[in-house]
Amino acid sequence: MTRIADLLATGRTFSFEFSPPKSADGSMSLGRTIAELEPLAPSFVSVTYGAGGSTREHTRDTVLWVQRETSIPPMAHLTCVGHTHAEIADIIATYVDAGIVNVLALAGDPPKNPADARPSDYTYATDLIEHLREISDLCIGVAAHPEGHPRSPDLATDRRLLAEKMKVSDFATTQFFFDIEHYVSLVNDLADLGVDKPVIPGIMPVTNIGQVERMAQLSGAAFPDWLRARLEAGTSPEHVRQIGVEAATQLCADLLDAGAPGLHFYTLNKSTATREIYAQLGLPVA
């Protein structure tokens, strides 16, 4: 069973994130995407979890499918929101029985409709991590926000809380960002707080301005003026996409030069941009 912490201890990781499909067509599309990315020999793939646990079954089914049908180790997202101890124990037992040992422990977002809220035995991600440690021998990652979580009162508090999470977990993956200074500052601040565990930067190639702008607002990430100006100079949707891929490629190169332990690509369940970045960086392909 491949543990992400062991991969990080021996070299850089290159990984991809997917959302669980909600329909037969979505499943077929995701299957094609994973097949197109598998020749890149990803270190692992992660599967997201909807607000309030709304994609719980879809996430589980997708993670199990990846484990069963591909050669790529999966990492399952888990959230505090909408889960009891018994439910988490049941989910983890299913994963462990299938040979899945990597999870990303998240606080999670409440459902958009309060009427859809489920009972929860956890308040913070650290509560979930502590329970996971009690019931299993998992490799546990956490989320990091280079520019601070949107619900944090200030950046210093966010860094302190992240350091507490990382002291009881194995590694972190970050929310996407567009300026390398945010990542460097995050790693340096964690070091000052006594944490030197791997922090894998998350990469979001901008292929559609409106879509990423909305996602940036929700995640608390800044959409910098320099990137907006470059994208708005695009003469067609394809040109905009090419500019976004070039900007993401440069960010990846700068991060690797700065010593990042790997790269984690937010694919939006598509493969083209990630494959192009791989080619431009000259990363090995199986």
Catalytic positions are: 17
Helical ranges in 122-271 per DSSP H: 125-135, 155-167, 180-192, 209-219, 225-232, 237-257
Residue recorded with tokens 């937010």: 266
Quick check: 102 and 4 in contact, CB under 8 A?
Answer: yes
Q: What is the DSSP string of 62-84?
A: HHHHHHHHSSSPEEEEEESTT--
Within 10 A of 23 (CB to CB), how many other CB atoms are there? Answer: 9
| One-character DSSP codes across 153-184 | SSHHHHHHHHHHHHHTSSEEEEEE-S-HHHHH
CA distances from 18 to 35, 42, 80, 151 (A): 13, 13, 20, 24
Nearest C-alpha neighbor of 241 from the set 277, 282, 266: 277
3-state DSSP assignment of residue 283:
coil
CB 44 within 8 A of CB 75: yes
How many angstroms separate the CA atoms of 170 and 136, rounded?
A: 14
Tokens 């999870």 correspond to 103
Of 183, 175, 195, 165, residue with least CA distance to 80: 165
